[in-house]
Structure 1
Amino acid sequence: MPTPAEPGQPHERPVLEPIRVLRPRNTDALAELFREMTQETGPYEAVRLPTGQPGTEADTQELPPVGRRRPPAERGGGVHRVAVAAVAVLAAALLGFACALLLPGRGGQAAAQTPPATTPAPATTPPAATTDPDGPGTLREGATGPEVIDLQQRLRRIPNVYDDGATDGRYDTVLTEAVARFQLWYGIRGDETGVYGDDTRRDLESRTG
């Protein structure tokens, strides 16, 4: 059984040396590719470019140098084309605007030409004749005539109702108070207070003959 090393003493072990592994490179494929590129055999063939005759100096045209302004004669064509294009765009815009204005106008004219539908007027029923609730021969304040005189004369025959009252044929406030007094004293309830209606007339005529 091995004894442990004493403290402070180095431990003796075999030293490991690095191992280098050499692997041969596969250069056969690279050499074959290079060989194919250098050989003239293949699907392509060399074609010689045709050489034409050199042109004369009159066939060449000198280009204007950079930065030089073109003369007005040369600039006229470009300005003319731009102006024509602008006029065409403006004319198209005006035409579209005119069409947009005319279309609603035509619809409005057609609507204006169409006569509006006339609705028949509702049938109006003549108002019913208003009848006095106190009777057809009712007399009230403001009335005048021979019937008022007959009323005044009959009331003067009833004691303490219309004593020394006028018989001028006018239904005034004094006569209204006399009629109301007669209705109250004799219990007449069918007519308005102070109004000489059917019930008051019937009772007064029965008492005065």
Structure 2
Amino acid sequence: MPTADEPGKPHERPVLEPVRVLRPRNTDALAELFRELTENAEDTEGYEGYESVPLPSAEARTQELPRVPPVLPVKRPPRGPGRRRGAVAAGAVLAAALLGFGCALLLPDGDRASAARTLPAVPPASTAPPADPDGSGTLREGATGPEVTDLQQRLRRIPDVYADGATDGRYDTVLAEAVARFQLWYGIRGDETGVYGDDTRRDLESRTG
């Protein structure tokens, strides 16, 4: 019967050694396959999956390029009498042109004046004044005459438009302001502000008789 260990004294037991476990590797089968392929590399005729293909000869791979035709020299026409005649004709035309130009410069002043008289006269440009957009009988600031006097007399008949205004026949700033006031009060929009045009004339004459 075993006795109990004494206190303070280590218990003596056999030491357990580790057990080594060997497992087959998956790479062993792959290495075996490579070994078989290396051994059978010289004998490829009996190996399934490959077939021998004959390589083409060097003559079959070489193609002959087409031949380039030789470049023929360009034939120039011989220098005969025909070419000389063309050059002489061109020189004669050039000399005639220079002679005519020199004669034109040497003409006297009288001949030049007579040549200028034969040219047709150009009609002068039209200097007619542009049509007035407010009408042909339009009066504006700066105008004078009996028509301005008639305008002043008619405006004096309209209450508070041209009260005690002058009737001297001059279209001044005071008269222009009176015309503008009349246009504003009675809603006349066909003429410029302060300009006595056709629309303002018809309205003023209808109100003053």
Question: Where on the TM-score scale, by shorter chain, does this alignment land: which range?
Answer: 0.3 to 0.5
Determine which structure has more spread, i.e. the larger CA radius of gyration: 1
TM-score, with normalisation over the residues of structure 2? Answer: 0.44
